[in-house]
Amino acid sequence: MIIPCIDLMQGKVVQLVQGREKALEAESVDEMLEKFAGFSQIQAIDLDAARNRGSNAALIEHIAKNAVARIGGGIRTPERAHALVALGAHRVIAGTAAFTETGINHDLLKQMPRERLMVALDSRDGKIAVEGWSQSIPASAEDVIAELEPYCVGFLCTYIDKEGMMQGTDLDWFRRLRDITAHEITAAGGISTIDEIHVLNGLHIDCALGMALYTGRLDLDALKRLRWP
């Protein structure tokens, strides 16, 4: 399944390179929702909330109410997660909150809406990145994925090293993740060709697409016509 991404910063739809440098601004949220209407789900991330630099709560809630959406960015309490589900979020994504400095935040995860929860396993230099990708913890996705399975239905796995760079992603990393969990996996970070999408689909891994859509590297109408077994 292809999942278009709407990343929000300071009230704008944006795309970043490796979570740092803003590469472009896009149309309004409503225009992007209309553009992505042919897809079964979208993903919306509040980048400001993820970095503790404010929030785009009103836009996030608007998306949750008006699309089949996976919502993430700054979801640090069970109350916020449950509130987004009540508003209509199809999935909520916990990243930073799922971890402590030394490992998994079991106490918090036990209170999350398990049947709607995805855990973000975002990887840079082989380690899980948190706090809007500004910090890392001393563990890899492979280290923790099995221990996280009881708390969620799936994982959003972003290969940060290639995020926004239009250079392709690390398919071998996704193969390794697929070998160690039967949970849903959504791949993100650098996916820029139809061939990569077909490989990931063959692994039963969803594809979250950002820069390749916004720059026209991948044709939106052609992707809408793709049919998966």
Give the domain CATH number at 172: 3.20.20.70
pTM as predicted: 0.93
Number of domains in the chain: 1
The pLDDT of residue 23 is: 76
The pLDDT of residue 208 is: 96
pLDDT digits (tens, 9 = 90+) for 195-229: 999 999 999 999 999 999 999 999 998 898 887 65
- Residues 109, 9: Cα–Cα separation, whole Å: 26
pLDDT digits (tens, 9 = 90+) for 140-189: 999 999 999 999 999 999 998 877 667 789 999 999 999 999 999 999 99
Residues labelled catalytic: 7, 122
What mean pLDDT comes out for the span 2-14? 95
- Residues 6, 26: Cα–Cα separation, whole Å: 9
Look up the domain containing 15 and give its range: 2-225
Task: Calculate the average pLDDT of the chain.
Answer: 92
Give ∠ CA 64-9-139 in degrees, rounded to 5: 85
Location of structure tokens 């449950």: 82
